[in-house]
């Protein structure tokens, strides 16, 4: 995949993050959490594309993070720290829950996940 194609994935990831913020403000918490997961998944795949030219065909944030850990172990703080792993697991669940299960996210959950993504996940990933 070319760098131009990888850049499309990065821009799409950033759009999911912007959309998550907008959806929270509109009270669409389920969709906002799904968009947060999509941001995380795509930005990790973008980083893998830039580093190794490909990424595994998976939706697992944990697997993508561990793959990036081969290039920069700093990212492993997202899965080795239990508090961070809790948030990563919640975001992974959102992929399945938002599509197939009748579980509803509340405002506090959505805002807390957004805070984690912006204040913890994004700075770690941006530093790679």
pLDDT score of 87 more than 80: yes
Instruction: Specify the higher pLDDT residue, 13 or 100.
Output: 13
Mean pLDDT computed over 87-107: 89
- Residue pair 128/68 in contact (Cβ under 8 Å)? The answer is yes
Q: How many domains does the chain have?
A: 1
The residue segments making up the domain with residue 103 are: 3-126
Residue 1: its pLDDT value, please?
Answer: 65
**pLDDT bracket for residue 36 (50, 70, 90):** very high
The CATH number of whichever domain residue 79 belongs to comes to 1.20.120.330
Residue 100: its pLDDT value, please?
Answer: 78
SS3 content of the chain, % helix, strand, coil (to 5): 80, 0, 20
Residue 39: its pLDDT value, please?
Answer: 98
User: Model confidence over 56-65: pLDDT tens digits?
Assistant: 899 999 999 9
């Amino acid at each position: 995949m070319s760098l131009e194609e990888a850049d499309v994935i990065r821009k799409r990831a950033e759009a999911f993050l912007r959309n998550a913020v907008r959806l929270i403000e509109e009270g669409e918490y389920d969709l906002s959490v799904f968009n947060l997961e999509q941001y995380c998944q795509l930005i990790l795949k973008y980083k893998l594309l830039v580093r190794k030219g490909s990424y595994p065909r998976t939706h697992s944030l944990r697997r993508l993070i561990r793959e990036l850990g081969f290039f920069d172990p700093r990212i492993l703080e997202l899965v080795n720290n239990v508090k961070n792993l809790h948030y990563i697991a919640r975001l992974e669940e959102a992929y399945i829950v938002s599509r197939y299960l009748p579980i509803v996210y509340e405002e506090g959950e959505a805002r807390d996940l957004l805070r984690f993504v912006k204040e913890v996940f994004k700075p770690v990933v941006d530093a790679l």
